[in-house]
Chain A
Amino acid sequence: MKIKDKKTTPAPPGTLKAVGSILLACALVICGQQTADATEVNGNSETILRMREGVLGGDLFPLYEYLNLSVSDTAGPGAISLEIGGWGRVDLGDRSFDHRTEGDIQYGYLSYRSNRNNFTLNAGRQWVVEGVGTERLDGLYLRSDLMAGFTAAAYVGTPAVTQPNFDGGDLIYGGRLAHSMPKYYSVGVSALRTEVNGDGIREEEGIDLWLHPMAMVDVTGRSTYNSLTRGWMEHAYTASFTPMESLRLSASLQNVHYDDYFYQVTTSALSLTNGLILPGEEMWNAGGSIGYSATKNIGLSAEYNHYEYDLAGGADYYGVAGNFSTATGLAAGASFHRMDGSTDRLRYNQYRAWVTQKFGPADLTLDFFDVDFDGSINGRENTFSLAGAAGYDFSRNLRVAADIDYIRSADFDNELRGLVRVSYAFGFGKEGR
């Protein structure tokens, strides 16, 4: 588990300091507000101790702290909020990774949201999801409703990528323009560009849509085009039909051109040069599913997916699942899935069964997950994990949970893992989870 050349995107000089200073200043301003009724502070802490074996022997005891904080003020004609979340780790036993300590700021941004026009302005590290853009960046994001049903969004910043193998860029910008009729459709066109020293390494454009022509029909999808390779990266569409509340039929179609889709990644695991992602490959995936709620407490579903390739052999993936719950705090589920690839190495049966029972503030869970490979992986054809978990809610805000997981995998004969999690929610206000 060694990572020797860990790199993350270097921010332009002074950027992080500037953003940090702004966030800190604004946090102090917000925290200093005397408008008690309009100020909300919410956060949660998760302290996690893991216990597991290392690949090279030795026991590992990494201790994690996940902390999320949200401070908002809604006194004005909108809401100003500060959102920060991240984690840190220290190894209490043997070193589990290259560094005894590790951590990450997952997000940290200042946000203004108006009460009118869905106007939003975010500054800092954030996860932007706008059409073809699903990007984490250190920068600015702006979104607003415009007249006549139009909506516009734009973002600019430094890509917050991890780049163990390839450069992820030093500048990213993009936007989306959409038109909606709230009850019937929303169609957007979007684009993004990523640069390294002024040269474009990603240029993507696309359309995304949601169609709701009648109450029982719901269609979603998107098509994405790569301007640098001049080819369509992906078409992915799903249509759902709900003739009655208890029955839902769904059909999906996906088409991916590997040369265009995997054009610029930062890890060799998904690059076109690793020998695993076949250059020139094209994939079609057509599938469907049926979901049926026999009662409010019983759900059944079945799914089927067919994969077709230009170069490799095809595959089928299908399965069934069911779950039920009772008013007495019992819930259970079971599923079976079959992956039917073109060779034994790409075929397996997957079984899962789980049950959980509440006893007032306490709960117990058992979860069994078994995979039967047609061919062997490292000399093993069957792998499984059996987990037992217990939790106790000391109050609405404090929960302690622990689990033991016994695993027989392709890498370990008999692996025993443990985890203890203390979750604490704090603050005042009624913001979301």
Chain B
Amino acid sequence: MKKTAYVMMMGVMLTFLYACANTNSVARVHPEEVKGLPRCAECHTDQWTALSHQTQDFYLKHKIYAAQQRDVCNTCHKESFCVRCHAHKEEIKPSDKYKDRPELSLPHRGDYLSRHRVEGRINPASCLKCHGRQNNERCKTCHK
């Protein structure tokens, strides 16, 4: 009985909070077509200036932007864009699939099989998000 009351109260409270939010949703599609790696500051003077893709640390920071407001990413990128790198199960490295896009920051370029022995020892934490729980079936070939 108590639990039911709590759930009902929570529902009423959330409904009230939602109804009072009254914000406009982020645009589903970016109003201007953007080609190449965007420099958001060319048009924006608001918080979106932080999303300029050409900065040297964007690749490092994009995970936080995505984790906070992925709707903003979705104005230009569909889900199919993200899974090129963030795959559930994949057999082709992105850098192998898109050899004709050398300017992109695609992971594991070149002979990474040799290099992963070093980088896996230096910072294995960087491997976990993509290979800790998915996209890891090939690991078992060597890592029994």
List residues of chain A with CB under 8 Å of any chain B CB: 1-3, 5-6, 42, 44, 46, 48, 50, 62, 64, 68, 70, 74, 79, 83, 85, 87, 89, 97, 102, 104-107, 113-120, 126-127, 129-131, 134, 136, 144-147, 150, 152, 159-165, 168, 178, 182-184, 186, 188, 208, 210, 212, 215, 218, 220-222, 234, 238, 240, 242, 245, 248, 250, 252, 254, 256, 258, 261-262, 265-270, 274, 276-277, 283, 285, 289-291, 293, 299, 301, 303, 307, 312, 315, 317, 323, 331, 333, 339, 341, 345-346, 348, 350, 352, 354, 356, 363, 365, 367, 369-371, 373, 377, 380, 383-385, 387, 389-391, 401, 403, 405, 407-411, 417, 419, 421, 430-433
Contacts and interface: CB of A to CB of B under 8 A. Distances in A.
A367 B99 contact: yes
Contact of A164 (B26, B86, B109, B136): B136
A291 B57 contact: yes
B125 A283 contact: yes
Contact of B134 (A46, A113, A136, A385): A136
B110 A161 contact: no
B96 A419 contact: yes
A186 B28 CA distance: 21
Contact of B76 (A85, A315, A433): A433
A269 B139 contact: yes
B89 A3 contact: no
Interface string B105-144: 0000111011101111111110111011111111111111
B123 A127 contact: no
Contacts of B49: 215
Given A270-B124, A431-B29, A162 B134 contact: yes
A48 to B, nearest CB: 7
B99 A269 contact: no
A421 B97 contact: yes
Contacts of A46: 97
Contacts of A208: 64, 67-68
B92 A48 contact: yes
Contacts of A126: 79
A370 B137 CA distance: 27
A11 to B, nearest CB: 14
B81 interface: yes
Nearest to A182: B47
A405 B134 CA distance: 27
A360 to B, nearest CB: 15
Contact of B64 (A117, A221, A390, A432): A221
A184 to B, nearest CB: 8
Interface residues of B, number: 90
Top 5 closest A-B pairs, CB basis? A369-B110, A291-B56, A68-B80, A269-B143, A147-B20
A161 B133 contact: yes
Contacts of A162: 88-89, 133-137
Contacts of A5: 140
23 contacts: A62-B91, A64-B92, A83-B78, A83-B79, A89-B91, A146-B21, A147-B17, A162-B135, A178-B68, A248-B57, A250-B57, A269-B136, A291-B56, A299-B54, A339-B118, A341-B121, A348-B118, A352-B109, A371-B110, A371-B111, A431-B78, A432-B29, A432-B30
Contact of A129 (B18, B70, B92): B70
Nearest to A220: B64
B97 A107 contact: no
Nearest to B102: A354
B99 A403 contact: yes
Contact of B99 (A6, A183, A186, A387): A387
Contact of A384 (B111, B136, B140): B111
Given A115-B24, A117-B23, A117-B25, A238 B139 contact: no
B6 to A, nearest CB: 16
Given A238-B61, A307-B122, A161 B134 contact: yes
B9 interface: no
A433 B66 CA distance: 16
Given A117-B21, A131-B67, A277-B124, A333 B103 contact: yes
Contacts of A410: 111, 113-114
B36 to A, nearest CB: 9
Contacts of A370: 110
Given A106-B83, A248-B56, A289-B57, 10 more contacts: A118-B26, A129-B63, A212-B47, A262-B124, A266-B136, A268-B140, A268-B144, A277-B124, A341-B121, A432-B81
A276 B144 CA distance: 12
B4 interface: no
Contact of A134 (B67, B115, B140): B67
Given A238-B57, A431-B29, A384 B23 contact: no
A307 B79 contact: no
B50 A218 contact: yes
Nearest to B42: A245
A331 B29 contact: no
A250 B56 contact: yes
